[in-house]
Amino acid sequence: MSPSQQPTSTNPSSLKNQFAHRFIRALKTLNHTKTGAAHDHNQMYRRSIRVKIASYTAMASVVGSRRAWSRAVLWKIIKRSRNQGLLLRKRKRRNPNPKREDFNPFRNSGQELKLRKLVPGAETMDSWCLMGETADYIKCLVAQVEVMKTLVDLYSIT
Amino acid sequence: MDPPIINESSFSAANPSSYSLTGIWPFSSANGGRIEGLGLKMGALVGRIGEPNSTRDEESTVTEYSGGGGRKRRDANFEDESSKIVSTSSDAIALNNLNGKRMKISGWKDEPGGSKTDQEMSSGSGSKAPAGQTQTHKPSEPPKDYIHVRARRGQATDRHSLAERARREKISERMKLLQDLVPGCNKVIGKALVLDEIINYIQSLQHQVEFLSMKLEAVNTRMASPTEGFPTKDLGPQPLDAAGLLFGSQTTRPFGHESQPEWLHMQLGNNFGRMT
């Protein structure tokens, strides 16, 4: 394992480092495989979506399998790349903590539902785990946004 | 019937004055790994004793099987804090023995536990000596399987409501952490509003990612095709590799975020080493 890929745990600067590293690598790959038509809006849109996916994938791969949301993101990407031509089949993940009672009978209503939709992979979690995942997700999103802002600043000097 | 899980020495690490409880209540959570078998026994015992008290408003503590997960760090923190308030006395032990209802088995779980317990003690059955607060501490070792809860005066003490309350307190602890993460969430009170803020924040962050990705794509496209007439004297057709050059040459470049140049230097240094 190369020294730049050690587990980050909660260190935000190393998180940013690793994310930037992987993201830039992905952007390089995207750059090389791009088509030349720069004015076609459809193409631009598709390329920007690829950049977005690259950024989420980079962040999720930095976090690895430590967190449920990163696992969910990576799983979605893998599934999407597998199902490119096939029918998209729905696959539900079973609740990993089946021994706990379903404590909150109102979990599927109100704001918690919105939160569950926003945080990837948080549909079948209990509320306590949901809060933890949300906290980690927010932390990583903030790091991601900061890195991307810096990159945009960096590359837009003309 | 009492498995020898109690080590007085394990308590001495945390608090030398809290031995006494081991005499009264041989089951304790000193050894988290062995509790699993005991959990049911303890629950049954506690339940039996707790039931006649369900209508009383006296305090009692119940231990709960929490099912693990490595998130018991808070317990360790709070034990450190609350170790200052612990004291035992022989009076208290005798009282506890007589009482039978006072099964304070272990440490508090929530933050204001210190002040709260003081109030509770004084507001509890007044005839007893309020200073005799007995408490054992789980020595701050990793994973305890029990979360220990104290019921407040005037609240139901049956098993289910205690479980509910423990769960709610866990969730509100995490909500507090989330409030610290989300800027501007400190002024909001109430679970619904805080959740609204959190949802808005996450949505805005995701929109920002999308917007920045569009911008990055545009910038990359512009950079990669230098025939468009933009002066790219510092960056060649491969802007990403040249970022390191850029950084090396322009050290006084104004940044929006002061803390970032350091990590970017490091990161690009790594990058360069890897790619060239």
List pLDDT tens digits, range A101-148: 555 666 667 778 888 888 888 788 888 888 889 999 999 999 999 999
Q: Angle of helix A127-155 relative to helix B191-224, nearest 10 degrees? A: 30
Task: Report if residue A49 sits inside a domain.
Answer: yes
Q: Which residues of chain B have pLDDT under 70?
A: 1-145, 147-151, 224-276
Q: What average pLDDT does chain A have?
A: 78
ipTM for the predicted complex comes to: 0.82
Task: Report if residue A7 sits inside a domain.
Answer: no
Contacts of A34 in chain B (CB under 8 A): 221, 224
Task: Report if residue A1 sits inside a domain.
Answer: no
- The reported pTM is 0.54
Please name which of B243, B245, B233 lies closest in space to residue A25, comparing C-alpha atoms. B243
Q: Is the dihedral of CA B34, B35, B36, B37 positive or negative?
A: positive
pLDDT at A96: 54
Q: What is d(CA B71, CA A58) in angstroms, rounded to the nearest whole number?
A: 27
- Ranges of H-type helices in chain B: 8-12, 21-24, 35-50, 73-82, 90-99, 113-123, 159-181, 191-224, 239-249, 260-275
Task: Report if residue A2 sits inside a domain.
Answer: no
Residues whose CB falls within 8 Å of the CB of residue B4, separated by 6 or more in sequence, listed in order: none
Task: Report if residue A17 sits inside a domain.
Answer: yes
Q: Which of A128, A141, A158 sits opposite B205 (nearest CB)?
A: A141
pLDDT at B144: 60
pLDDT at B209: 92
Q: Which of A21, A51, A118 sits opposite B217 (nearest CB)?
A: A51
- Boundaries of domain holding A131: 12-31+41-89+108-157
Angle at B139 (CA atoms; ends B137, B140), nearest 5 degrees? 120
Look at chain A and report how many structural domains it folds into.
Answer: 1
Task: Report if residue A150 sits inside a domain.
Answer: yes
pLDDT in tens, A23-74: 888 888 888 876 666 677 888 888 888 889 989 999 999 988 888 889 989 9
Contacts for A14-18 with beta carbons within 8 Å, 24 or more apart?
A: A15/A62, A15/A139, A15/A140, A15/A143, A16/A143, A16/A146, A16/A147, A16/B260, A16/B263, A16/B267, A17/B263, A17/B266, A17/B267, A17/B270, A18/A62
- Ranges of H-type helices in chain A: 12-32, 41-63, 68-82, 111-118, 127-155
CB atoms within 10 A of CB B148: 23
Task: Report if residue A21 sits inside a domain.
Answer: yes
* B161, B169, B213, B251, best to mutate vs chain A, most A CBs in 10 Å: B213
* B216, B223, B250, B262, best to mutate vs chain A, most A CBs in 10 Å: B216
Cα–Cα distance list, A84 to A45, A77, A78, A80, B10 (Å) = 19, 11, 10, 6, 58
Q: Are B144 and B29 in contact (CB under 8 A)?
A: yes
Task: Report if residue A100 sits inside a domain.
Answer: no
